[in-house]
A and B are shown apart, each in its own frame.
Chain A
Amino acid sequence: MATVELDDIHKRFGAEEVIKGVSLTVADGEFIVIVGPSGCGKSTLLRMVAGLETITSGELRINGLRANEKEPMDRDIAMVFQNYALYPHMSVAQNMGYGLKIAGLPRDAIAAKVAEAAKLLQLKDLLDRKPRQLSGGQRQRVAMGRAIVRDPAVFLFDEPLSNLDAKLRVQMRLEIRQLQADLGTTALYVTHDQVEAMTMADRMIVMNAGRAEQIGTPLDVYERPSTLFAAQFIGSPAMNVLPAEGGADGLRVAEMVLPNPAAITGPVMVGLRPEHLYPDPEGPIGLRVRLAEPLGANTLLHGTLASGEAFTASLAGVHGIGQGGTMLRLSVAPENIHLFDAASGRRLG
Chain B
Amino acid sequence: MATEITGMVQRRGAGLWLTHLAMIAGVLVIFFPIWLAFVASTVTQPEIVRPPMPLWPGDQLIENYTAALFSGVNVPVLTMLGNSLVMAVGIAVGKIVISLTSAFAIVYFRFPGRNLFFWLIFLTLMLPVEVRIVPTYEVIAGFGMLNSYSGLIFPLIASATATFLFRQFYLTVPDELAEAARVDGARPMRFFWDILLPMSRTNIAALFVILFIYGWNQFLWPLLITTDPSMNTIVMGIKQMFPSGDDLANWPVIMATSILAMIPPVVVVVSMQKLFIRGLVDSEK
- Which residues of A are interface residues toward B (Cβ below 8 A)? 50-52, 71-73, 77-79, 81-83, 85-89, 98-99, 102-103, 132, 146, 150
CB within 8 A of B183: which of A77, A83, A87, A89? A77
26 A-B residue pairs with CB within 8 Å: A72-B182, A73-B183, A73-B185, A77-B183, A78-B183, A79-B183, A81-B179, A82-B176, A83-B174, A83-B176, A85-B179, A86-B180, A87-B180, A87-B181, A87-B194, A88-B199, A88-B284, A88-B285, A89-B195, A89-B201, A89-B284, A98-B181, A98-B186, A103-B185, A132-B284, A146-B184
Pair A99/B185 contact, Cβ less than 8 Å: yes
Q: Is the interface of A mostly helix, strand, loop or mixed?
A: loop
Q: How far is B203's CA from A89's CA once the two chains are assembled, in angstroms?
A: 14
10 residue pairs, one from A and one from B, having the closest CB atoms: A73-B185, A85-B176, A99-B184, A85-B180, A89-B198, A102-B185, A81-B176, A72-B183, A79-B183, A72-B182
- Which residues of B are interface residues toward A (Cβ below 8 A)? 174, 176-177, 179-186, 190, 194-195, 198-199, 201, 284-285
Q: How far is B195's CA from A86's CA once the two chains are assembled, in angstroms?
A: 10
Q: How far is B284's CA from A132's CA once the two chains are assembled, in angstroms?
A: 9
B residues within 8 A CB of A71?
182
Pair B176/A98 contact, Cβ less than 8 Å: no
B residues within 8 A CB of A82?
176
Pair A73/B182 contact, Cβ less than 8 Å: yes
B residues within 8 A CB of A51?
182-183
Give the most central of A78, A83, A89: most B CB within 10 Å. Answer: A89
Q: Which of chain A's residues has its CB closest to B195's CB? A: A87
Give the most central of B181, B184, B199: most A CB within 10 Å. Answer: B184
Question: In the complex, how many angstroms separate the beta carbon of A32 from the nearest chain B beta carbon?
Answer: 19
Q: How far is B185's CA from A51's CA once the two chains are assembled, in angstroms?
A: 12
Pair B190/A79 contact, Cβ less than 8 Å: no
Q: How far is B179's CA from A210's CA once the two chains are assembled, in angstroms?
A: 23
A residues within 8 A CB of B184?
73, 98-99, 102, 146, 150
Pair A52/B182 contact, Cβ less than 8 Å: yes
Pair B199/A89 contact, Cβ less than 8 Å: yes
Question: In the complex, how many angstroms separate the beta carbon of A62 from the nearest chain B beta carbon?
Answer: 14
Q: How far is B284's CA from A339's CA once the two chains are assembled, in angstroms?
A: 56
Pair B183/A50 contact, Cβ less than 8 Å: yes
B residues within 8 A CB of A146?
180, 184
A residues within 8 A CB of B177?
85, 87
Q: How far is B177's CA from A82's CA once the two chains are assembled, in angstroms?
A: 11
Q: How far is B182's CA from A87's CA once the two chains are assembled, in angstroms?
A: 12
B residues within 8 A CB of A50?
179, 183
Pair A102/B186 contact, Cβ less than 8 Å: yes
Q: How far is B285's CA from A103's CA once the two chains are assembled, in angstroms?
A: 26
Q: Which of chain A's residues has its CB closest to B186's CB? A: A102
Q: Which of chain B's residues has its CB closest to A73's CB? A: B185
Q: How far is B176's CA from A72's CA once the two chains are assembled, in angstroms?
A: 14
Question: In the complex, how many angstroms separate the beta carbon of A74 from the nearest chain B beta carbon?
Answer: 8
Q: How far is B183's CA from A50's CA once the two chains are assembled, in angstroms?
A: 8
Take A89-B199, A102-B190 as given contacts and tell me if A81 and B185 are in contact as well, using a CB distance cutoff of 8 Å.
Answer: no
Q: How far is B183's CA from A103's CA once the two chains are assembled, in angstroms?
A: 12
Question: In the complex, how many angstroms separate the beta carbon of B117 from the nearest chain A beta carbon?
Answer: 23
A residues within 8 A CB of B198?
89
A residues within 8 A CB of B194?
87, 98
A residues within 8 A CB of B195?
87, 89
Q: Which of chain B's residues has its CB closest to A50's CB? A: B183
Question: In the complex, how many angstroms separate the beta carbon of B84 from the nearest chain A beta carbon?
Answer: 33
Q: How far is B177's CA from A85's CA once the two chains are assembled, in angstroms?
A: 5
Q: How far is B174's CA from A88's CA once the two chains are assembled, in angstroms?
A: 11
Question: In the complex, how many angstroms separate the beta carbon of B253 from the nearest chain A beta carbon?
Answer: 48
Q: Which of chain A's residues has its CB closest to B180's CB? A: A85
Question: In the complex, how many angstroms separate the beta carbon of A153 from the nearest chain B beta carbon?
Answer: 13
Question: In the complex, how many angstroms separate the beta carbon of B26 from the nearest chain A beta carbon?
Answer: 37
Q: Which of chain A's residues has its CB closest to B185's CB? A: A73
Q: How far is B249's CA from A346's CA once the two chains are assembled, in angstroms?
A: 99
Pair B182/A85 contact, Cβ less than 8 Å: no
Q: How far is B183's CA from A308's CA once the two chains are assembled, in angstroms?
A: 54
Q: How far is B183's CA from A150's CA once the two chains are assembled, in angstroms?
A: 11
